[in-house]
Amino acid sequence: MSTAVTPITDVTKKISTDDQSGNQLPCLGTVTQINKLGKISAITFLADPVITHPNDSSASEMPITAQAKHISTADFGDIVLVQNTQQGLVVMALLSGENEAPAAHIVNNQGNVVVNGAKSVSLTTEKGSISVFSSGKVLLEGQEIEASSESNFSLSGWPLRLN
């Protein structure tokens, strides 16, 4: 499904959402094409800005030149924030849906990654998961769970049950 993307080089008019200084503001768009990795390859504008593309006179579906690295994989119909650049359209953000809660807050604290979730944080794969809940409960589930230590290995709590 992925095709070669031609950057928008012949923009005859600015996107109609200019600020008072004449600077181009980002626009909202709907995802219409996704490549096999889930990266966004084309969108349609929600506000239908005035813009032309050399290969498409209708300019209804616009190719995406780049996507910000922090954006997770997208689905058809997702709403994105798009910025027009000299090289072409760049997807800057993937907006949450009306019924979606904001994602967990991830912080790189001097090389220590901290993930904050209001109710819980989970790492999940096909055959296992680790969940930490706001109550303090930690749940490990997996086909096989191993633990090793070069020094002391401590388990504490009451009661402590091992099968």
Give residue-wise pLDDT tens across range 98-138: 777 766 667 777 777 888 887 888 999 999 999 999 999 99
CA gap 5, 66 in Å, rounded: 10
User: 8 in a domain, yes or no?
Assistant: yes
55 vs 36 pLDDT, higher one: 36
In the DSSP assignment, the letter for residue 53 is: B
User: 20 in a domain, yes or no?
Assistant: yes
88 and 117 belong to one structural domain? no
131 and 61 belong to one structural domain? no
90 and 112 belong to one structural domain? no
Q: What does the pLDDT read at residue 129?
A: 94
**What's the number of domains the chain is made of?**
2
Letter for the amino acid at 36?
A: K
Pairing assessment for the beta strands 62-67 and 89-94 based on DSSP bridges: parallel
Residue 64 pLDDT exceeds 90: yes
CA-to-CA separations, 145 to 128, 129, 163, in angstroms, rounded: 9, 10, 13
112 and 90 belong to one structural domain? no
25's enclosing H/E stretch is none
Q: Residue 41, Cβ neighbours under 10 Å: how many?
A: 21
> What would the mean pLDDT of 55-67 be, rounded to a whole number?
73
User: 131 in a domain, yes or no?
Assistant: yes
> What would the mean pLDDT of 7-20 be, rounded to a whole number?
43
116 and 130 belong to one structural domain? yes
CATH for 60: 2.40.50
49 and 90 belong to one structural domain? yes
pLDDT category of residue 36 using cuts at 50, 70 and 90: confident
Cβ(49)–Cβ(27) below 8 Å = yes
63 and 136 belong to one structural domain? no
Q: Is 63 exposed, middle or buried (0-12, 13-18, 19+ CB in 10 A)?
A: buried
Q: What does the pLDDT read at residue 37?
A: 83
1 and 70 belong to one structural domain? yes
**Structural domain harbouring 78:** 1-100
* Overall size of the chain counted in residues: 163
63 and 16 belong to one structural domain? yes
User: 161 in a domain, yes or no?
Assistant: no
| Residues near 35 by beta carbon (within 8 Å), at least 6 away in sequence | 1, 2, 41
11 vs 38 pLDDT, higher one: 38
CA gap 57, 59 in Å, rounded: 6
